[in-house]
Copies of this chain bind each other. A is one copy, B any other.
Amino acid sequence: MQSKGTLYLIPNLIADDTAEKAIPAYNAMLLGSLNYFICEHAKSLRALLKASGVASPYDHLTYFELNKHTDRFELESFIKPLLSGFDMGLVSDAGCPGIADPGAQIVALAHAQGIKVLPLIGPSSIFMALMGSGFNGQKFSFHGYLPQKEPQLKKYLAEVERSIATEQSSHIFIEAPYRNTKLLQLLIKLLNPAQKLCLAINLSAENQRIETKTLGEWKKKLPEIDKLPTVFVLGS
């Protein structure tokens, strides 16, 4: 009986020109050895291969795109190379596949088929923001996107405030970059001015900034965050 391949979960860069900071040597070597990939978009897979020193052209590679345009009934066919004994790499556009990014459904299919799943080490803006916030990292939640409408957001934030006060939990979330300032203004409006907020901007890039201040302090001088990749962390 032919043995099955291994599904490697390979983090992608979160900022340009950061391979030396973000990619362990093993990842680069492994990327050069794989012929089959599942990626969010082919363009970001090729950028990762190039940044990892894998020589182009990449015409011999077989890849399947997994993004919002993918028909979920196709997913089973994506893992066929694994069932045939070939190793595959799962890569999203930025950071860790399956974490605030597509990929989890593929991993779940792999588990259901008894395929070995092997996560590699690399960048995650969520973890870098939490580490850099100075907030409690013994207990935390990642919320993805918060509700956009003010009444729902107010209710959601009241629960977050309760969790910070009673459980000392930290709370991480993101927003579509063009709405970052709008979200910050709503946080300033809806939360106690003494509540601390960490903004982690352009993580892993040369111009990254991580600052933790009270909302009262942020209000005095609003930072430039619109259209910049930003992770928000509330905590104590």
Which residues of A come within 8 Å of B, CB atoms? Answer: 9, 20-27, 96-101, 103-111, 117-124, 126-128, 130-144, 169, 203-204, 208, 210-213
Contacts and interface: CB of A to CB of B under 8 A. Distances in A.
B99 A130 contact: yes
State the majority secondary structure of interface residues on A. mixed
Copies of chain A in the complex? 2
A143 B140 CA distance: 7
Contact of A99 (B96, B137, B144): B137
B130 A98 contact: yes
Most B CB atoms within 10 A — which of A27, A121, A133? A121
A140 B140 CA distance: 9
Contact of A121 (B22, B107, B110): B22
B137 A100 contact: yes
Nearest to A97: B131
Contact of A140 (B24, B133, B141, B203): B141
Contact of A25 (B20, B117, B127, B208): B20
B119 A131 contact: yes
Given A20-B26, A118-B208, A210-B119, A107 B124 contact: no
A111 B142 CA distance: 22
A100 B138 contact: yes
Contacts of A208: 118
